[in-house]
Amino acid sequence: MIGLMKICKITGIIALLAAIALLSKFNYIDPEAYEEGKSDSPDTGAYSLEDEVKKENQSANSNQKEDSNENDNLHIPESNTKEQSNEEIKLNAISAVLMDAANGRLLYKKNAFKELPMASTTKIMTCIIALENAELSDIVTVSSYAARMPDVQLNIRTGEQYYLKDLLYSLMLASHNDVAVAIAEHVGGSVEGFATMMNDKARMLGCNNTNFVTPNGLDAAGHYTTARDLAVIAAYAIQNKKFLEITNTSSYKFCELINRRSFTVSNKNKFLYMMEGAIGVKTGFTGSAGYCFVGAVKRTDRTLISVVLGCGWPPNKSLKWKDTVKLMNYGIDNYKLRQIFEYTDLAPVPVEKGVKKYVNLSIDGDLKLLMRDDETVSVKYEVSDILKAPVQANAIAGYANYYIDRELYARLPIYTAEEVLKLNLPFCIKKVTDYLLMDF
% helix / strand / coil in the chain, to the nearest 5?
A: 35, 25, 40
* H or E element, residue 9: helix 2-23
Neighbouring residues of 262: CB distance < 8 A, sequence distance ≥ 6: 253, 254, 255, 256
Cβ contact 304:297 at 8 Å? yes
In the set 120, 143, 170, 306, the catalytic residue is 120
Count of residues in the chain: 440
Cβ contact 222:210 at 8 Å? no
DSSP-derived 3-state class of residue 350: strand
The strand pair at 368-371 and 336-339 is best described as antiparallel
Neighbouring residues of 12: CB distance < 8 A, sequence distance ≥ 6: 436
Amino acid (one-letter) located at 162: Y
Active site residue 175: yes
CA torsion, ordered 233, 239, 240, 243, to nearest 10 deg: 60
Axis crossing angle, helix 191-204 with helix 123-133, rounded to the nearest 10 = 90
Q: Given its phi and psi angles, is residue 291 left (phi above 0), alpha (psi -120 to 50 degrees) or beta?
A: beta
* H or E element, residue 108: strand 105-110
Active site residue 120: yes
The strand pair at 387-388 and 262-266 is best described as unpaired
Amino acid (one-letter) located at 429: I
Closest by alpha carbon to 31, among 417, 436, 432, 401? Answer: 432
Query: What φ, ψ does residue 260 adopt, rounded to 5°?
Result: 65, 30
In the set 109, 114, 123, 201, the catalytic residue is 123
**Degrees to nearest 5, angle at CA 364 with 363 and 368:** 135
Q: Alpha-carbon distance 222 to 321, whole Å?
A: 27
Neighbouring residues of 152: CB distance < 8 A, sequence distance ≥ 6: 174, 175, 176, 177
Active site residue 123: yes
Sign, CA dihedral 165-269-155-234, equals positive
In the set 41, 68, 170, 175, the catalytic residue is 175
Q: Active-site residue numbers?
A: 120, 123, 175
